[in-house]
Structure 1
Amino acid sequence: MASFTTIWVCFVFTTELALPHVEAFCRFKNNHDQINVTCRKETKFPSGIPQNAFLIDLSHCKISSLQRKDLQSFSQLRIFRIAGSQLRTIENTTFDHNQQLNVLDLSRNSNINSDTTKTFICHLARMNRNVRELYLSVMNITTSDFYDIIRCLEKTQLTVLDLSSTIKGSLKNYTFSKMKSLRVLKLGSIYPVNLRALVNLTLLNTLRLSDTKLEEIPSFYDRDTNATLLPSLTALYLDANYIARLPSKSVGLDNLEFMSMRSNRLMRFTASDISTLSTKLNTLFFNTNKGIHIEECSFSESVTRLELRDCRIAFSRNVRTIFRTATHMTGLSLTKNTFDQSDDALGTIFHPMPNLTHLSLEYCSIKHIPDTTFQGLHRLIMLTLRGNRISKLSSKHFRDLHSLESLNLAENKLTMVYEDVIKSFPPSLKAVDFAQNPFVCTCDLLWFMKLFRGGRIVFLETDTNDAYKCYNPAEMAGKKLTSFEITDADCVHMSLGVKLIIMISGIVCFVALITLVVYRFRWYIGYGYFLLRARRREAMEVSGQTQYAYDAFVAYNKNDLTWVKDELLPLLEDEAHLRLCVHDRDWLCGRDVIDNIVQSIESSRKTLLIVSNAFAASQWCQLEMTLAQHRLLAEDRNALVLVLMEPIERRNVTPRLILQMRQQTYLEWTDDPVGQKLFWKKLLRSLKKQSGSIVHSSSVDRPKPEFSEDGIEPGCVDVDVSDRTPLSQRAHV
């Protein structure tokens, strides 16, 4: 089968071609005096194509019709492709003047009427005797028209016929028996498979039975003669089926050399299973068989090429011997599997295969390459490690790769490629790919930049946007490597400056870290400071040296200031003659808030908390309560009085407030006059009585409380609280 590769290069024709006009979406290539034309996006047959064109490719255009006048001037045309171009009509005599035509591809033009296709193919079979390859995949052909087409093609010398996804249902016996010249036959998406349709195809060497719902590899023995139906078959494609295992006995494929079983359900196989299938089998494509289990030494010496892409194999110590007997392996693809980094399986798994020339390990989650990984691979030509997590290269990685020509390390985590690594590259290396790596553009990258600009090695993807760019330092982030200008002289002068910058940066970072820690834990630092002060005051109290400046420190929110000024202060200060510390009046200006809080609590015999919703929602008020609670525990005395001004909403309730209210009886303010009288009596008694221990006292030691009819201990308050005239209307004492 002739193979032609379309290369998208704009060819500049000489004056000998004398082209008056060339279509905008066409590309031309002169390949040894053979003009190859490739067009895309055309809506009609393009003009301006040289009459001596050898190949015309109009695939994926939007040409709805082909006529005789379109192609009658191309007498040297050998290959014509118009696959997937939305063809609707095609004139029977379209190729009558193209008697040199060898290859015709009409695939994926399902809009053509079945009868039109049949009439055209039968006319082509009569008029163009040189057609050898015909591609009719994914066409709209009825069953009756299909068999009429086959009868017409029996008169030709076709060697390649593609009918994938074109025919429905199973084939009749002897369908292709008269097409004895066939060498390649593609029959995808037919089921059930009837191998009797292939009788007499003694020259057939390639067969595709992809997507045919096969659950096992069928037998190719003729049940009448017990001989193999396809004695020349060397390549078999069974992709996208449901096959779960290889056959345990011969199926008549003794000459098979190539097998593709991609996207099946293979669970496991051994070397004996492969040899049973064919002793000549040397190429295996087992890609996308999820969860496949491979036994030890599963591949014999006969296997030279193997693909196990995307099989979810975890290569570890337990499976690193699967290639022990594959000593003649030359091509191996393990892309999209994983390597266990913990047991160093990657370091030895390839050692039994010294003949490897192509190795693909793309997207295998490799973080570290052991120094022994490629040991002994002297013949390796192409190595692909794209899409891993490799962050460091060693000169030992490449010391045995004497024949390496292509190296792909794109999409890894490489920030630097050092001088010793560059020098370890073999002289044979011609192309490398380091695209999409997070390079740090400093003097350490100098040797890599020399290689990048040197020209001895081709860097792939250099024209792709952001393929090679700096990620660090910050001033270089996002810039392309081509704009990173640095020389040896720059690096000599920069070395001292870089060290100085690093040192200063370290000091700045340390100071910033300390500042951040102090800011983040400022409340806890305040706690510690308060604890030390509390311990000191506790010792002074034991020795009788404690002197308080205030009877109580009043902690309240600014929203409750009116109540404090008009209700609380007049009674406690003017009438009960208590000394109160109120932050709006008694705090020193310019002093730190925390210092003022701590000083006020320590200078007061007790702390009075005026709790409201505003108080509970305030961070500073919460801090005052926390410090007061800490003093309560640290000094082991009841120095905290809590007044509840109103019901606290659930969203404002904190764990500390709940704990305090559960552990200590608190006073509740009320609008009822009788209740207010009781409230003031209780509050005065709480502020005037001595502070006793809350830890060491017991129910036995405490005096039994006495109650009057109104529930208040009699005689504990000698202040008249019946007069509730506001502070503004009273004369100060």
Structure 2
Amino acid sequence: ILFLLLLVCMVIPVGGFALKNCHVSRNTALCHNEILNAVPQDVPKTVTSLDLSGNKLSRIRRADFSHVPHLIQLDLNRNYILQLDSFSFSNLTSLQKLNLNHNKLDKLDSNVFHGLWSLTELRIAHNKIKVVSSTSFQSLPSLRFLDISYNKLQNLTNANMILEQLPQLQEFLTNTSVQLHAVDLSLNPFQDFRITADVFPNLLRFSIGLNKRKPLKWDVKKTFLRRVSSLDISQLHLTLSDMRSLFQAVNQTLTLLRLNAMKQNPNKLINLSCSVPSMSTLQFRRNKLRRIEARLLELCTNVTKLDLADNDIQAISEDAFKCLLRLKTLTLSGNKLPFVPSATRNLPGRYKLDLKSNSINRLQCQDFANQTELRILYLQNNSISNLKDCVFEDLVRLKILKLQSNKIIKLNNAFKRHLPNLRFLYLSNNQLAMIEKEEFKGLRSLQNLSLHQNNLGDLNEMSFSGLKNLIHMQLKANNIQKKDLDSDAFNALVSLKLLDLSNNHVQYKSEHPCKAPFSHLSHLEDFIFSAQRFRLKSHLPARGNYYVDLQGNTFTCDCNNAQFLRWIKTSNQTQFYDAYNFLYRNPPSFKDKKLLNFDPSSCMVDTGFICFVSTTCSIVGLMLASLMFHFMRWQLVYSYYLFLAWLYDFRHQNKQSANQYDAFISYNNHDEPWVMDELLPKLEGEQGWRLCLHHQDFEPGKTSKIPFSTEPALLHLFSSFRLFDDQKDVLILIFLEEIPLNQLSPYHRMRRLLKRQTYLSWARAQNPQVFWEKLRRALQSGDDLDEGRFCPGLLQTP
């Protein structure tokens, strides 16, 4: 489980991915204990190790491993495999180790291991194999280790043919070969064991044993075990005479003897075994020893390693080991010793002492006196509650000390001045509540410190003082909080590479940058911070990682997790451990539903952003409307009524009644003589137009054209006339005199209109007939007359 160093509390985007049933770490795919019924196909093809142990696979098919061609190690241990198809592993040409232990195979067919040219280790123990084909192993030319023990083999008539196919085989754990170094026939249902030929000339290790009530019939040639150095006859039911013959056969070469769970008298067995002068290691477990006296081991003068574990030993006489002058390793684990036996003090040259899983409840200063050569001390799984500052003072060469799973409440300066060469200290699963200042000051060589599963809290800046060479520290499952991280307690760990703070009570209440608690740990590589035990919302500092473990955290089903879900599903840089099993806890309707089943597409609509845009637009619109009303309110009113007039005209354009007049004549009183003498006779008398004069017969009504004669003084009256604004050609302008341009300048709008509209000039009409003809044509034109229909040059011709 890998977490990169948290140097600053800021969010750095990274990519991630998650496999549905497996976890990938350093080219190793871990798919164990997932209740799989088939080999997963989403494993990356680059993995070199695949662990599928502890599942429910019942059959291995030909194409199951075609997607992982680079596998070097494959573990199929503890499944329910009944059948291996031929050529099942043909694609795994690089595979070196294959474990099929603890399955239900009953036979090995031909070509079942075809393609495994590089396989060096094959384990198929604890199955139900009865039949092995003569060609089952023909594709394994590199095989060196074969374990086929704990099956139901009763005879191997084709053993020689099988072994000839394995030229490199060195260890065959169930049968024999000329070049074999080890044979394991344990727990096979043999009733007779007869070997009358010298078929094991190179045999070095031999194991045989079973749980039958009847003694095994032993008929073996004396030279059978002449080179054996390791012999395991645990649970073997032999008569004492047969056992004496067996020991005589290995009298010169035997160095390791295992006599576990024997039915014979333990005193006689030890005396008989210690009569072998070459034996240096004796394992004598589960033989129901209650007490050890000096005479029990008086013949074991050459023993260097003595294992008396799991014997229910309650007492050991003070001189019990006085004859074991060469003893280096003593194992007394799994007994019922109430204290450290004084007999162990008489072995100054001892290298390892194992006292785990006893009933020891206290340690005295003299318990390890004069043990200056002791390197390894196991005291875990006892009932020790307190330590004294003098208890380890003579262990100057001790490298490994295990005190986990006791009841230790305080350390009492036990490590403040002593154990200068200690490398590994295990104090997990105790009842430690705090670490005093400079408590570990004497452990200047310590590299691995395990303090998980305690009640540790209230750390201070001197808690880990002196641990300059510490590399790994385990602090998970304690009571560590954010204030402990901010106490500079970890500043002294300048060489630390791995720190596990998972399952504590660290809570960050703000997303803002905070103090970096591990900024002094320049060598930190792996930081584990999963499953912090708090209920309220918390913001964990985040940064780029390659492997993320968030097991045990609480997830709430809402849109705040949408980006987190996309991070897991769409990227390929960071793996989230066990992501497909993350469950929701809130709200109650989504409780125990899987996190990755949530559809984040429903979170794409950002209601807050929409409300922000709408509000902003409304405010800006209101401000613009206020400004326009303040500065342009009359223009707006005028435009409004102009629009109403246009709308009225548009709606009634097809409903208009016929006009009573062809034209309405508007003129100045000074121009009445010209109108009455010139205009009226010409238009009504000669051309037949019906005219309405505003001094004579004006009535409200609409006319199609309005000939209008005027003087310069009246031109400003037309500046706001609606017909001009409607841009309709309903006016015919007649100028009876020349109008200087300087008089038009104040009336910019009229000047612009005269530049682009048609008008008639009487003053420049040298030929009156032309003027009247132009006027007639103007009156005949419709309302849609465009501006260019009568060009100014033509209408203003003098």
State TM-score, norm by structure 1: 0.53
Q: Are 2:348 and 1:273 aligned?
A: no
Whichever residue aligns with residue 325 of structure 1, its letter is D
User: 2:697 corresponds to which residue?
Assistant: none
Post-superposition shift, 1:407?
0.6
User: 1:234 corresponds to which residue?
Assistant: 304
Residue of 482, 485, 495 corresponding to 1:418? 485
Whichever residue aligns with residue 72 of structure 2, its letter is F
CA contact (8 A) 1:304 1:330 kept: yes
Deviation per CA, 1:344-390: give whole Å up to 9, x if none. x4434553212111100011111111122111211001100111111
User: 1:726 corresponds to which residue?
Assistant: none
CA contact (8 A) 1:29 1:35 kept: yes
CA–CA separation in structure 2 for the residues paired with 1:431 and 1:326: 27
Q: Are 2:508 and 1:438 aligned?
A: no
Residue of 445, 450, 473 corresponding to 2:536? 473
CA–CA separation in structure 2 for the residues paired with 1:253 and 1:12: 51
Q: Are 2:279 and 1:204 aligned?
A: yes
CA–CA separation in structure 2 for the residues paired with 1:329 and 1:242: 27
| 3-state SS, counterpart of residue 53 of structure 1 | coil
Residue of 376, 379, 384 corresponding to 2:445? 379
Q: Are 2:302 and 1:258 aligned?
A: no
Deviation per CA, 1:648-669: give whole Å up to 9, x if none. xxxxxxxxxxxxxxxxxxxxxx
Q: Are 2:138 and 1:69 aligned?
A: no
Alignment of 1:134-145 (within 5 A): 134-138=206-210, 140=212, 142-145=214-217
Deviation per CA, 1:425-478: give whole Å up to 9, x if none. 534222222222233133599556978999942135x7xxxx434624336662
Q: Are 2:491 and 1:428 aligned?
A: no
* Count of residue pairs brought into register by the alignment: 449
CA contact (8 A) 1:68 1:91 kept: no
Structure 2 gaps, min length 5: 1-27, 31-44, 50-60, 75-93, 175-182, 540-552, 567-798
Alignment of 1:549-564 (within 5 A): none
Alignment of 1:631-650 (within 5 A): none
CA gap of 1:384–1:92, structure 2 versus 1, over 3 A, is farther
CA contact (8 A) 2:385 2:407 kept: yes
User: 2:354 corresponds to which residue?
Assistant: 285
| 3-state SS, counterpart of residue 315 of structure 1 | coil
User: 1:362 corresponds to which residue?
Assistant: 428
Residue of 149, 156, 163 corresponding to 1:91? 156
Q: Are 2:248 and 1:173 aligned?
A: no
Post-superposition shift, 1:159?
2.4
Post-superposition shift, 1:100?
4.3
CA contact (8 A) 1:438 1:471 kept: yes
User: 1:28 corresponds to which residue?
Assistant: 72
CA–CA separation in structure 2 for the residues paired with 1:273 and 1:472: 54
Whichever residue aligns with residue 457 of structure 1, its letter is E
Post-superposition shift, 1:297?
2.4
Post-superposition shift, 1:402?
1.4
Deviation per CA, 1:301-357: give whole Å up to 9, x if none. 1222111111101215xx44322222222111111112234xxx4434553212111
CA gap of 1:28–1:127, structure 2 versus 1, over 3 A, is farther
CA–CA separation in structure 2 for the residues paired with 1:23 and 1:59: 22
CA–CA separation in structure 1 for the residues paired with 2:64 and 2:415: 55
CA–CA separation in structure 2 for the residues paired with 1:73 and 1:141: 40
CA gap of 1:173–1:96, structure 2 versus 1, over 3 A, is same
Q: Are 2:195 and 1:132 aligned?
A: no
CA gap of 1:204–1:111, structure 2 versus 1, over 3 A, is closer
User: 1:297 corresponds to which residue?
Assistant: 366
Post-superposition shift, 1:418?
2.2
Residue of 374, 391, 398 corresponding to 1:322? 391
Residue of 258, 268, 275 corresponding to 1:186? 258
CA–CA separation in structure 1 for the residues paired with 2:513 and 2:200: 63
CA contact (8 A) 2:476 2:503 kept: yes
User: 1:313 corresponds to which residue?
Assistant: 384
User: 2:673 corresponds to which residue?
Assistant: none
Post-superposition shift, 1:50?
1.9
Post-superposition shift, 1:129?
3.7
Percent of residue pairs bearing the same amino acid type: 16
Residue of 514, 524, 527 corresponding to 1:459? 527
Residue of 190, 194, 197 corresponding to 1:114? 190
Which segment is superposed worse, 403-412 or 62-71?
A: 62-71
CA–CA separation in structure 2 for the residues paired with 1:166 and 1:459: 50
CA–CA separation in structure 2 for the residues paired with 1:453 and 1:381: 15
CA gap of 1:415–1:229, structure 2 versus 1, over 3 A, is closer
CA–CA separation in structure 1 for the residues paired with 2:260 and 2:169: 26
Greater percentage in helix = 1
CA–CA separation in structure 2 for the residues paired with 1:198 and 1:468: 53
Structure 1 gaps, min length 5: 1-6, 486-733
Post-superposition shift, 1:48?
3.7
Whichever residue aligns with residue 385 of structure 2, its letter is A
CA–CA separation in structure 1 for the residues paired with 2:222 and 2:564: 64
Deviation per CA, 1:221-244: give whole Å up to 9, x if none. 89xxx8x4452x221110111322
CA contact (8 A) 2:145 2:170 kept: yes
CA–CA separation in structure 1 for the residues paired with 2:513 and 2:366: 43
CA–CA separation in structure 2 for the residues paired with 1:388 and 1:313: 15
| 3-state SS, counterpart of residue 177 of structure 1 | helix
CA contact (8 A) 1:389 1:412 kept: yes
Which segment is superposed worse, 239-248 or 368-377?
A: 239-248
Q: Are 2:290 and 1:215 aligned?
A: yes
CA contact (8 A) 1:76 1:100 kept: yes
CA gap of 1:160–1:426, structure 2 versus 1, over 3 A, is same
CA gap of 1:169–1:255, structure 2 versus 1, over 3 A, is same
User: 1:680 corresponds to which residue?
Assistant: none
CA–CA separation in structure 2 for the residues paired with 1:484 and 1:396: 41
CA gap of 1:22–1:164, structure 2 versus 1, over 3 A, is farther
Deviation per CA, 1:492-541: give whole Å up to 9, x if none. xxxxxxxxxxxxxxxxxxxxxxxxxxxxxxxxxxxxxxxxxxxxxxxxxx
CA–CA separation in structure 2 for the residues paired with 1:102 and 1:251: 40
Post-superposition shift, 1:89?
3.9
User: 1:37 corresponds to which residue?
Assistant: 98
CA contact (8 A) 1:21 1:48 kept: no
Q: Based on CA coordinates, which of the two structures has the bigger radius of gyration?
A: 2
Residue of 227, 232, 235 corresponding to 1:157? 227
User: 1:592 corresponds to which residue?
Assistant: none
Q: Are 2:108 and 1:47 aligned?
A: no
Post-superposition shift, 1:200?
5.6
CA gap of 1:386–1:251, structure 2 versus 1, over 3 A, is same
CA–CA separation in structure 1 for the residues paired with 2:565 and 2:413: 36
